[in-house]
Amino acid sequence: MQAVQRHRATPRHSEPPQSIKELLKEFQDILPDDLPNELPPYRTHQHEIVEEPRSKPTFRAPYWLSPTKLADMKKQIEYLLAKGLIRPSTSPYGARVLVTPKPDGILRMCIDYQALNKQTIKKKYPILRIDDLLDQLRGATVFSKLDLRYRYWQI
C-alpha cells in the first residue's frame, strides 16, 4: 500500500493511477461488479439481535409509495430474491420500507427498523474519536470513498 500512498490525490472521476489499477486487478475476486448468487459463507461469529425481556415482535404497516417508487422497490426485491439474498418470510416482525433517491438519482430501498431498535439491547462498543481517526490520515495523499453495493443491508 505504500506505493499507492505516494501518488497525489486526483480529482473525482479521473483515471486511477496504475498502482491502483493493479491493486483492483489483484483483488478482483473480492471486489466484484455485481452481487454473488449466494449468501456469504458461514462465519465463526453470527450476528444476532438481542431484545429487551418481554419484548413483542414489532410490525408496522407500510408507507405509501408512489407508483414509480413502488415499481422500483419491486424490481429491487425481485433482484435480491433471484440472487438468493432474501427470501419470503412469515415472521411476525415487519418493518416499513422507504425508497429514497441517492445523490446520483438512483432510488435506494431502505428499511425503517426504528420500532425494533427501540426494544433492542444495545452493544456497548466505543466509537473511535474523529480527531484520532484524522490523525491517522496525516501524510496520506490518496483517499477513496467506498460506496459498497447495497451497504445498508450489510452487517
Supply the pLDDT for residue 7.
42
The partner residues of 96 in beta bridges, in order of sequence, read 112
Supply the Cα-derived Rg of the chain in whole angstroms. Answer: 20
Query: What's the pLDDT at 5?
Result: 43
Of 69, 96, 99, 80, residue with least CA distance to 38: 80
The pLDDT of residue 28 is 82
Report the mean per-residue pLDDT for the chain.
81
At residue 104 the predicted structure's pLDDT band, cuts being 50, 70 and 90, is: confident
Mean pLDDT within 71-78: 93
- Between 39-43, 58-62, 110-114, the lowest mean confidence (pLDDT) is in 39-43
Is the pLDDT assigned to residue 152 strictly greater than 60? no
DSSP state, residue 98: E
Evaluate if residue 3 carries a pLDDT over 70: no
Q: What's residue 4's pLDDT?
A: 42
Arithmetic mean of pLDDT, 70-78: 93
Q: Report pLDDT for 113.
A: 92
Cβ density class 22-59: b for 16+ within 10 Å, e for less: ebeeeeeeeeeeeeeeeeeeeeeeeeeeeeeeeeeebe
CATH of 35-124, one of 3.10.20.30, 3.40.720.10, 3.10.10.10, 3.60.90.10: 3.10.10.10
Q: Count the Cβ atoms, other than its own, within 10 Å of residue 130.
A: 8
Question: How far is the C-alpha of 150 from the C-alpha of 155, rounded, in Å?
Answer: 11
Long-range contacts of 44-48 (CB under 8 A, 24+ apart): 47/155
Three-state DSSP class for residue 111: strand
- pLDDT at position 19 is 87
Domain boundaries, the chain: 1-31+132-155, 35-124
Query: pLDDT higher for 36 or 110?
Result: 110
